[in-house]
Structure 1
C-alpha cells in the first residue's frame, strides 16, 4: 500500500469510528457502483442511509479536507446515491443523505475530525 492510500485508509478508520460513536451503523466500506465510483462509508442513521465521503489531509499547505467537495464531486456522489437506490430496490424510509467527514492530521497531537451532514 502506498503512502497516499495508507493515509486515506487511516482517515476512513477514524471516520468509521466517529460515525459509530455517534450512533450510526456502518453498512459498507468502499462500496463500488460500476464506473460511477466508490463511496468511502455507507452507514445507517436511524432510518436514513448515509453515503459518507471521507477526506484526509496532513497539516500543511494543502487545501482543507472540507474544500474537497467540488460541484463535480457532488454530482458524482449524487449518481452514486442513485446507484444505491437502484441496487437496493428503492430509497429507505428516511431517504439518503450525503455527508462529509474531514480528517486533518496535525504534525503533533490527535487528528482533528469534522463531520458535516447533508453536503450534496
Structure 2
C-alpha cells in the first residue's frame, strides 16, 4: 500500500464516513462546510428530521491514544458553535440536532474499521 499524505488520508476517511452515513439512511447536506471560525466535516439529515453534524477522525494506528481521544470537550464546543452558525443560515427547522463522531482506522486490517459514536455533544 502506498503511503498517503495527511490530506489524502483525511479525504479517504471522509469518503468512507459519507458512505457509512448514506448506508445508515442519512442524506448528506454538506461536506467540508467552512466559515471564518472553522470547518464542519459532514452535515447530514436523518429521516427523522434531525440534522447531524459529523466530525470525522481518520487514523492509521493507535498513536496519540487513537481517534477517540482526538475529540476533546473543547473540540465539541467548537463544533457546537459552528453548527449554530450553519443552522442560523438555514431556512429549515430541524426536529433535533446531534453531533456524531466517526472514527476511521485505516491500515491495521484489510478493510477500514469504522466506529460511529452518536450524540457526543
TM-score higher than 0.5: yes
- The within-5 A match list for 1:40-55 is 40-46=41-47, 47-55=49-57
1:64 to 66, 75, 82: 66
Q: Output the TM-score relative to the length of structure 2.
A: 0.89
Structure 2 CA distance for aligned equivalents of residues 90 and 62 of structure 1: 39
Contiguous gaps of at least 5 residues in structure 2: none
Contiguous gaps of at least 5 residues in structure 1: none
Structure 2 CA distance for aligned equivalents of residues 83 and 50 of structure 1: 14
Q: Output the TM-score relative to the length of structure 1.
A: 0.90
1:17-72 Cα shifts (integer Å, max 9, x gaps): 0000011011110011x222111011001200101000000024332112111111
Aligned length: 117
Runs of 4 or more above 2 Å deviation: 60-63
Structure 2 CA distance for aligned equivalents of residues 99 and 18 of structure 1: 13
CA RMSD in angstroms comes to 1.5
Aligned position for 1:7: 9
